[in-house]
């Protein structure tokens, strides 16, 4: 049984229907990769789990407990962290304040420790720590968002296109970090990626989302080597 599962989930924004009959299973200590074309509903799926989209029907089970209808901040406190694709930093706050607030649910001593830890991972942020996040470049902002996601040690970490805007060397480093979080800390990770090939190479299970429905589910290797789907949707030949 997965640590996080959705059961016949239908969701969207208000009355707008985006996702249809989604049955997802994110197993403990695995990287679950979600791929699919633009507008397929990948972000909406993560938003739904985090409690910021509207559930029309179905269940979301976390550790066997239905979390549908819980407010976002309660879901966060249960151990589900989320790095959204957009609007993922507070532009009016400094880099340091952003990190501090990302550790809102932690003890003060722990916050300080984690801040130096994540700054160690992205030295650029250290340099800009007193600058407002709104003045950062696209890539720097993305690094800050990732750093904010890593501040807490959640049980489930949902990452939405975190490699966008990053230089190739950083993409590599960030994805290595994701693997490390799974292997060393046993985090359960849901990874939405535009770089489908790279993500599928490090992931365990994969879902292909097309027009709000699941078109494929299975092992990452299986999807990578799929004769039609890989070519059709992932640009892998």
Ligand X SMILES: Nc1ncnc2c1ncn2[C@@H]1O[C@H](COP(=O)(O)OP(=O)(O)OP(=O)(O)O)[C@@H](O)[C@H]1O
**Site residues for another protein per CB under 8 A:** 50-52, 71-73, 76-77, 81-82, 84, 87-93, 97, 100-102, 104-105, 108, 148, 152
In angstroms, the CA 166 to CA 177 distance is 14
Contact positions vs ligand X (CB under 6 A): 13, 16, 18, 36, 38-44, 85
Which string of DSSP letters, residue by residue, matches 28-63?
A: TT-EEEEE--TTSSHHHHHHHHHT-SEEEEEEEEET
Query: Of 42 and 152, which has the nearer Cβ to Mg ion?
Result: 42
Cβ at position 13, least distance to ligand X in Å: 4
# binding residues, Mg ion (CB under 5 A): 3
In angstroms, the CA 4 to CA 26 distance is 5
Cβ at position 52, least distance to ligand X in Å: 9
Cβ at position 103, least distance to Mg ion in Å: 26
Q: Choose the binding region for Mg ion from 26-34, 36-44, 64-72, 205-213 (rule: CB under 5 A).
A: 36-44
Residues 6+ apart with CB under 8 A from 172: none
Contact 87, 133 (CB under 8 A): no
Say whether residue 43 binds Mg ion (CB under 5 A).
yes
Contact 11, 213 (CB under 8 A): no
The item of Mg ion, another protein, ligand X, none sharing an interface with residue 203, based on CB under 5 to 8 Å by kind, is none
In angstroms, the CA 173 to CA 121 distance is 9
Nearest CA-CA partner of 106 in 120, 117, 122: 117
Query: Of 43 and 98, which has the nearer Cβ to ligand X?
Result: 43
Query: Of 100 and 205, which has the nearer Cβ to another protein?
Result: 100
Residues 52-91 that bind Mg ion (CB under 5 A): 85
């Amino acid at each position: 049984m997965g640590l996080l599962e959705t059961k016949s989930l239908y969701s969207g924004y208000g009355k707008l229907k985006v996702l249809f009959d989604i049955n997802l299973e994110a197993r403990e200590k695995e990287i679950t990769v979600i791929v699919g074309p633009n507008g397929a509903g990948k972000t909406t799926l993560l938003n739904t789990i985090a409690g910021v989209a509207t559930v029309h029907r179905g269940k979301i089970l976390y550790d066997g407990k239905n979390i549908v209808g819980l407010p976002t901040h309660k879901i966060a406190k249960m151990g589900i962290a989320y790095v959204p694709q957009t609007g993922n930093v507070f532009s009016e706050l400094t880099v340091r304040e952003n990190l501090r607030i990302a550790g809102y649910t932690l003890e003060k001593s722990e916050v300080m420790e984690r801040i130096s830890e994540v700054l160690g991972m992205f030295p650029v942020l250290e340099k800009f720590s007193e600058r407002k996040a709104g003045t950062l470049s696209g890539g720097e902002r993305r690094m800050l968002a990732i750093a904010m996601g890593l501040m807490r040690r959640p049980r489930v970490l949902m990452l939405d296109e975190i490699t966008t805007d990053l230089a190739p060397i950083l993409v590599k480093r960030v994805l290595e970090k994701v693997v490390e979080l799974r292997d060393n800390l046993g985090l359960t990770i849901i990874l939405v990626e535009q770089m489908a090939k790279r993500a599928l190479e490090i992931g365990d299970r994969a879902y292909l989302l097309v027009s709000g429905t699941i078109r494929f589910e299975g092992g990452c290797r299986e999807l990578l080597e799929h004769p039609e789907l890989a070519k059709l949707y992932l640009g892998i030949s």
